[in-house]
Structure 1
Amino acid sequence: MELLKQMCNIFAPAGDEGKMKSFILDYVNTHKKEWKAEPKIIEGDGFQDCIILVFGKPTTAIFAHMDSIAFTVKYDRELVKVGGPRIKHNYPLWGEDSQGPIECEMSVPEGSKKAYYKFDREIDRGTQLVFKSDFRTSDDFVQSCYLDNRLGCYNALKVAETLENGIICFSCYEETGGGSVGYLGKYIYETYGVRQALISDITWITDGVKHGKGVAISMRDRGIPRRSYLNKIIALAKESNIPFQLEVEDAGGSDGNQLQASPYPFDWCFIGAAEDNVHTPDEKVHKNDIQAMTDLYKYLMEKL
């Protein structure tokens, strides 16, 4: 889990994904010659901080968002949410401003819905702060902030090791409603004719989705994937004998929603391990579900 641990410690809140982009590019360039197929790397000004990896003759794309939830320093020590992080008194935060590195704590007055920072000086207005990582593993679980979605990116990089034909898109801005998937989808549809996708992201432990029961295939959340494509995914998952669970929710969203809102005829399905303690420093995922996630992605990318 060393790779995942490194990724959970990288500062990459929504809108400031540059460090994660650099990490992934370095990792790909270091390891690509060890992979079954060497990808074409597409990135640069026209793609902002996103990365596209193209393997062979692709028919399906994996989307994994690099950004995390965070907080922005407002006025009078107040913190504004980036995405939907949970707030709690004394949560550890870190970042950097013009005056230097910052390690501080969150302050939530009793009965208040607002969060503030506790630090020995004023932090520059507009500074982004993220949860401080405390990466823990046990026989069964891994626990840290930002498993959503460093684990989705980790999964994509593990799939890349054996991928012969396919595309992996590392996207930005997902935690704040999207913004990069539209042009990524446009590029891969118009350049490669790819119009089906898997969303490598992390979902929630709920009444119907449990730890250790396999990767979750989402039949719907706020978005609804096309049923014929969903049925094909489920049939392949059954054929694979890899453990999986079916998820049905009425809230939540992902890069899949942005693909559905694009002017391109994409089919998509969210497939990911489920976590407890969502959007906190203590997100928790079962190791068997991580393995099932990677195994199912490898199988689907061969069959779709």
Structure 2
Amino acid sequence: MQLLQALCQIHAPSGNEALLTEYLLHYIQQRQQQWRIQPTVLAGGEFQDCIILVFGKPRTAVFAHLDSIGFTVRYGRELVRIGGPNAATGYQLVGRDAQGDIACTVVVDEDTKALSYDYHREIERGTELTFRCDFRETATTVQSCYLDNRLGVWNALRLCETLENGVVVFSCWEEHGGGSVAYLAKYIYEHYGVRQALISDITWVTEGVHPGQGVVISLRDSLIPRRSYVEGIRRIAEAADVPHQLEVEGSGGSDAKELQHGAQPWDWCFIGAPEDNVHTPDEIVDKRDIESMLALYQVLMREL
């Protein structure tokens, strides 16, 4: 969990993922000699702050987004949301502008619900603020801001240790409308012929999805994947005896939206651990669901 804690602490709101990209490139450089297969690393230039890792002869791609929700300082003390963070008076935010490091708190107007910050000085406009990381681990859970989607990134990095054939993609901007997966998917399809995907992201605890009962295979959210592809994944999960749950939602989305809306014939399925306290500083995930998430990805990348 030290790797997960390190990932959660890195400032990388949508549009400013560079610090996390730099961390991952260094991590990959340091660790890949211990992996079963050393991948081709594609980064920089036309890939902006995204990273593509190509292992062996790939058939399937795993997409994990790097970015987090947060806030942008507007004018005066006004805050504008990045993505869809939950906001409550007293939430602690951190960031940095030209005058130095920042540690402030959110203020929500009771009448208008407008957002502002409480700090001893004005913060420079355009500064991005993110939740202060308070990483808590017990015998059964991990709790922190930004488990969505640093846990999906953690899962993809751990998958790299044993992966023989596949593509692992670290994307940007997912929390605030997307924008990177379209060109990443086009490149992967045109250069490697890959057209099936798994979305390594984190979903919700709901009345039908419970912590500790296994990784979630999503049958649908605001989008609907091709049923025959998802059924194939379900059969593999059942044959491998990996604990899992099925999710049916009418809202929400992921990097899959750009795959489904793109010009290439991608199949996709969202597979991730469920978390509670979504988009708050206190997101919490059961360790059993983390274990089953990694186990299922390892099986699927061999079998699909």
TM over 0.5: yes
In 2, Cα distance between equivalents of 1:284 and 1:218? 19
Matched position secondary structure for 1:16: coil
Structure 2 SS opposite 1:182: helix
Partner of 2:294: 294
Distance 1:37 1:28 in 2: 12
**What displacement does 1:113 show?**
1.6
Which residue in the other structure is 1:265 paired with?
265
Task: Tell me how far apart the structure 2 counterparts of residues 81 and 227 of structure 1 sit (CA, whole Å).
Answer: 35
Higher mean displacement: 111-120 or 238-247: 111-120
For 1:222 and 1:31, the matched residues in 2 are separated by 37
Q: Deviations over 1:47-77 (max 9, x none)?
A: 0100000000000000000000010001120
Q: CA deviation at 1:109?
A: 2.3
Q: Which residue pairs with 2:173 in the alignment?
A: 173
One-letter amino acid of the structure 2 residue matched with residue 133 of structure 1: C
**Shift of residue 181, structure 1, vs aligned partner:** 0.2
Shift of the alpha carbon at 1:257? Answer: 1.0
Match of 1:17 in 2: 17
Show CA shifts across 1:13-44 (max 9, x none). 00000001001111111000000100000011
Residue 75 of structure 1 corresponds to 75
In 2, Cα distance between equivalents of 1:173 and 1:284: 23
Q: Are residues 1:247 and 2:253 paired?
A: no
The 3-state SS of whatever aligns with 1:105 is strand
User: Separation in 2 of the partners of 1:139 and 1:115?
Assistant: 36
Please name the residue that 2:97 is paired with: 97
Alignment partners' CA distance in 2, 1:141 and 1:43: 33
Q: Residue 149 of structure 1 corresponds to which residue in structure 2?
A: 149
- Given the alignment of the two structures, is residue 34 of structure 1 paired with residue 34 of structure 2, yes or no? yes
Give the residue type in structure 1 aligned to 2:183.
Y
| 1:195 equivalent in structure 2 | 195
**Amino acid in structure 1 at the alignment position of 2:90:** N
Q: Which amino acid aligns with 1:273?
A: A
- Equivalent position of 1:284 in the other structure: 284
**Structure 2 CA distance for aligned equivalents of residues 12 and 87 of structure 1:** 18
Partner amino acid, structure 2, of 1:283: E
Secondary structure (helix, strand or coil) at the match of 2:294 reads helix
- Secondary structure of 1:231's counterpart equals helix
Give the secondary structure class of the aligned counterpart of 1:301.
helix
Q: 1:113 aligns to what? A: 113
Report the equivalent of 1:4.
Answer: 4
- Alignment partner of 1:130: what SS? strand
* Aligned pairs, number: 304
Q: What do the CA deviations read for 1:74-96 (whole angstroms, capped 9, x no partner)?
A: 11201000000001000000000
Distance 1:91 1:44 in 2: 35
The separation in 2 between residues aligned to 1:76 and 1:46, in whole angstroms, is 36
Structure 1 residue 110: Cα displacement: 2.1
1-structure distance, mates of 2:288, 2:183: 34
TM-superposed deviation, 1:124: 0.3
Q: Aligned letter for 1:54?
A: V
Question: Identity of counterpart residues, as a percentage?
Answer: 58
**Residue 56 (1) aligns with residue 17 (2):** no
Larger displacement relative to structure 2 (146-155 or 101-110)? 101-110
2:265 counterpart letter in structure 1: P
Aligned ranges for residues 122-137 of structure 1 at < 5 Å? 122-137=122-137
**Cα RMSD after superposing both structures:** 0.6
CA distance in 2, matches of 1:98, 1:186: 38
Gaps of 5+ in 2: none
Corresponding residue for 2:160?
A: 160
TM-score normalised over the length of structure 1: 0.99
Counterpart AA for 1:235: R
Report Cα offsets for 1:208-236 as digits up to 9, x if no partner. Answer: 00000000000000011001101101111
For 1:225, the equivalent position in structure 2 comes to: 225
Q: 1:2: how far off?
A: 0.1
Quick one: distance in 2 between partners of 1:234 and 1:114?
A: 44
Deviation at 1:271, TM superposition (A): 0.1
Amino acid aligned to 1:156: A
